[in-house]
Amino acid sequence: MATAPGPGPRPAHAPSGAPDGANGAGEDNGEICESEDHEASEDGLQRSRRRRVRDLLVLGYSHAGQHAYVAGVGTTIPFVASTYHVSYATIGILLAVVAAFGSMFQLLAGIVRQSARRLLFEQNVGSTIAAVIGAVSPGIAIFFAGRLVQAIATWPQHPVGASYLSSRHPAKRGAVLSWHVTAGNIGTLVAPLAVTAVIATSGWHMAYVLLAALLATAAVAIGVGLRGPARTGPSAGVPSAGARVALREARAELAAIVRERPALALLVAGTVAAGGQGIGILSIYVPAYLKSGLGYRPLALGAVLTILYAGAVVGPVLMGYLSDRLGHHRVLLLNYVLGAIALGAFAFAGRAAIVLAPIGVAVGIFSYSELSLRQTAFAGVVGSERARAAFGLFFAASQAVGALWVAVVGIVVTDVGFHAAFVVMLATFLTAAAIVAWGRPERPAARVT
């Protein structure tokens, strides 16, 4: 049947035995136009896909740099404690104060409307300065001043980065956010061996020189490689009335979010599960356990940490894939239970590296997948319209309140021991599972198959 030329389904070719001209000149012209439109559309899709992949790679590299810094700090902490003669309780309290103060800046995500490129570039410049401060610190006060600078500077990575990627890849939100987390965990994976190698040869101060160089390259990568629509909003050049309106709107959005039980449950669960998460707890107290609890030397410590962090790289991708197919809340609950089992096994497995290594992989998978699984479920609950403000609240609540766990675990380590500290960690995962189950939506969000 002849079709009019122009956009529409491409007509089938005439059978090979049909006489020339059987389709008619109109059909030939229509087929040519449709073919050209199809090719143009394909070219546009390819260009768009390449841009999105480039953005994901650049943003992932930035995330890797931030995680490398945090993992580097955790790896150096036992040596910092020995150099400055401070207890893990003291270090835990100081880290908790720094993390709680810095994480509150993530609430700015609901107010600031600058471009992701600008915010993330400034973040990496500030983190580079923080690493330099760590490299030259003569005492514990200056060391933690550098840590505070980084905690404040790094606020855009999670809320702005997650919102940016979630909005560009809505159909595969679970997979995209898990890749973002995995990119960060690659930095976590690489840092221990590199940092311990520098410590073994040149001391822990030089390890911060290495981290500063890495963060400087991340700043360059963001400045050169990240593209996307700019966001404008309150700044020094915007009238104060506009800033007040933006602040009122942000407050209204946040108030609406916390009134929704599924969203509230995920926020509260995050503040509890932070006691067993990879970043913040394991990155600090697993190196401390291996050195001070089990007596591992720097390179052996780095090797076991690298194996554990290998699980952290694989875990979010695997669990994100499963969550897109089996349900975000269902896989999150499973992750909590398996993570609690892995933490208990790691604590009581003994000193043998051959036993600790495979258990460490499981710890890495489940402890480091918790954040990406929970933020994926959260994104499905709040929707894309409120994504940036919602993610600001999400990460501020998880990390500010969760930062208290750094102090709690440090006190438990000092007063009771490492085994008791790991019991506390696994208990936080089981409690978080109960909270998520309480707030689980009656009808799960639609999944992509």
- For the chain, the domains span 60-231+238-250+277-439
Tell which wins on pLDDT, 314 or 25. 314
User: Quick count: other Cβ atoms within 10 Å of Cβ 395?
Assistant: 25
What per-residue confidence (pLDDT) applies to 8?
Answer: 45
Residue 405 pLDDT greater than 70, yes or no? yes
Identify the weakest region by mean pLDDT among 139-153, 191-205, 251-265: 251-265
Residue 26 pLDDT greater than 70, yes or no? no
Structure tokens at 183: 């990119």
Burial class (CB in 10 A: 0-12, 13-18, 19+), 244: exposed
* Exposed e or buried b per residue across 94-131, where buried means at least 16 C-beta atoms within 10 angstroms of its C-beta: bbbbbbbebbbbbbbbbbbbbbbbbbbbbbbbbbbbbb
Identify the weakest region by mean pLDDT among 104-118, 241-255, 306-320: 241-255
| Cβ pair 150, 99 in contact under 8 A | no
Residue 7 pLDDT greater than 60, yes or no? no
CATH 1.20.1250.20 fits 60-231+238-250+277-439, yes or no: yes
What per-residue confidence (pLDDT) applies to 21?
Answer: 44
Tell which wins on pLDDT, 252 or 69. 69
- The predicted-structure confidence for 101-129, as pLDDT tens digits, reads as follows 877 776 666 666 677 788 889 999 999 99
User: Quick count: other Cβ atoms within 10 Å of Cβ 276?
Assistant: 30
End-to-end CA distance of the chain: 35
Mean pLDDT of the chain: 79
Give the whole-angstrom CA distance, residue 151 versus residue 147: 6
The band of 246, judged by pLDDT with boundaries at 50, 70 and 90, is: low
Residue 239 pLDDT greater than 50, yes or no? no
- pTM attached to this predicted model: 0.65
| Amino acid sitting at position 307 | I
Residue 13 pLDDT greater than 50, yes or no? no
- The predicted-structure confidence for 354-397, as pLDDT tens digits, reads as follows 899 899 999 999 998 998 898 888 877 776 556 666 776 777 77
Tell which wins on pLDDT, 337 or 188. 337
Give the whole-angstrom CA distance, residue 162 versus residue 376: 10
